[in-house]
Structure formats: C-alpha cells, structure tokens
Amino acid sequence: MKIFIVEDEELAVKKLQKTLQAIDAELEVVGTADSIEASVEWLQDNPRPDLILMDIELADGQSFEIFNLTQVKSPVIFTTSYDEYALKAFKVNSVDYLLKPIQKEELEAAISKFRQMKETYKAEKPGDPQITALVKELQQTLQHKEYRKRFLVKHAQKLLSVEMDRIAYFFSDDRVNFFKTFDDKKYVIDYTMDELENMLDPDQYFRINRAFVVSAKSIDQIHDYFGNRLKLNLKPTIDKEALVSREKVSTFKEWMGK
C-alpha cells in the first residue's frame, strides 16, 4: 500500500513512518508534504496514492483547502488534536480520524478498515462525494467551534478564574507552561502547548513557535531577525525571546494584518 503523508511537524512525520513500518513492512510512504501548497503540487505531479494521512492544521492553514485546489482521489485518514467527542460524529465509512498523539493500535485499525473497503475507492472516482461532503461538514463544525472563555488556575492557596481578555500570552519555561496577564501576573497552567493552541480563538491568539502563543494585543513591536525569523517585543515584557519561527512568518503576517 502506497501512502502519502501531509504533516508539518518533522518529528510527527518520522514517528508516522516508523509506526507504519512496525504495522506492516509493505506499507510504503511514497511522499510527504508539510504545507497546502506542497501537498497540492505533489498530488498533481505524482500517481494517486492508495491512502493519505493528512493533518488538519498545517503551518499555512487548514488542510481542507487542498480539496478546493485539486482533486483528491484517494481515501483520507485525517489526523488532528481536536476534541475527541466533536469528532465522533464524523466516523463514517469513507474517512477516519485519529487523535494526536497517534497510537499504533488506532492507526493499524484504520488501515485495516481501508483495506477492507479498498473496492470502494476507484481511481475513476475523482473526489469521492462522501469525502467532499464530510470535509464541508467538518469545516462548518470547526468554524463554529467554542473556544475557551476563561482558565481556572491555582493562586496561593486558592483557585482563581482568569478571563481570556486578561491573558497576554502563554509560554513554556523549563518544561512548565505558564500564561501572563496584561497586569504582569504569571500563572502555571496544566495544559500542553498543543492543547492550548486548539483551545484558543485563532483570531485572537497565534502560536509563533513551539514555546509561545501570543495575543495580538500583547505585541508591542515586530523586528526582523536573522534566519528569516521575526522578533516580538511583548507587553508585559518577558525575559525570554519571543521569535516567530521561519515557517510561520508568512502566516503570522497575514494574521496580524486581519
């Protein structure tokens, strides 16, 4: 079985490749892409793969855009960090979803499911209507997703509820995650950066790198930085460099310009 992987995190790609080999040595990864543009180009220039593993959130947008730019003739397993309960409604015969971090047993079960359904997917059936309908439905659901309105944190010996409009940014420091409020108070938060990214309204917060998610209102100044990156001056100030990673610079500029 020939498999094409759409995933923008290099470590995730390597883990998927390793897991696929552990499941079956005949599972061959014939290509990978880390963006919408690269995915479209690969799909247009290469023979149809038997199966696509496709992350929903890519550095340059949601992978659903791929379906608008080219015909996707292969069955797709979407990989995502979105809430499990929201996804259960989309478990249909044509498409499956795996929640990150992806477990070997779940990936193996999904591939087994596609093998059993192999005759359902023919090269002569460009853009299977079930996939197209499902993508549109999931897009609508995600567009109406409820985002966090507040966080409950420990403060001294008490619990404190902090409203989102008070939070300037989230950051990691020595494997512990925090957020700072606009009045320069810091709180420990018991969520990973991946989890936080999916809880926050993308119109208000942007993940500039693996260690920072910033509010647009927290950005005081933006400077060019070596390596085709950007350096942000945040308010309140912080003694860590807030750098926009190279692969996110273009998306960040679009986000700031909204």
**Cβ contact 202:254 at 8 Å:** no
Q: What is the pTM of this model?
A: 0.50
Structural domain count, the chain = 2
Q: CATH code at 35?
A: 3.40.50.2300
Range of the domain at 191: 150-256
Rounded to the nearest 10°, the torsion over CA 180, 81, 33, 242 is: 0
Q: Which of residues 99, 125, 143 is at a domain's end?
A: 143
Residue 97 carries which side chain, given as an amino acid letter? Answer: Y
Say if residue 156 is in the same domain as residue 252: yes
Residues 15 and 127 both lie in one domain:
yes
Query: Do residues 9 and 123 share a domain?
Result: yes
Same domain membership, residue 172 and residue 124: no
- Return per-residue pLDDT of the chain as tens, 258 residues: 999 999 998 888 999 999 999 999 999 999 999 999 999 999 999 999 988 998 888 888 888 888 888 888 888 888 877 654 345 435 433 457 777 778 888 888 888 877 776 655 444 444 455 555 656 655 555 555 678 899 999 888 899 999 999 999 999 998 899 999 999 999 999 989 888 988 898 889 999 999 999 999 999 999 999 989 999 999 999 999 999 999 899 889 989 986
Query: How far apart, in Å, are the Cα atoms of 39 and each of 7, 62, 64, 252?
Result: 9, 12, 11, 21
Same domain for 125 and 158?
no
Residue after which a domain boundary falls, among 94, 116, 143: 143
Domain co-membership, 69 together with 177? no
Same domain, 22 and 114: yes
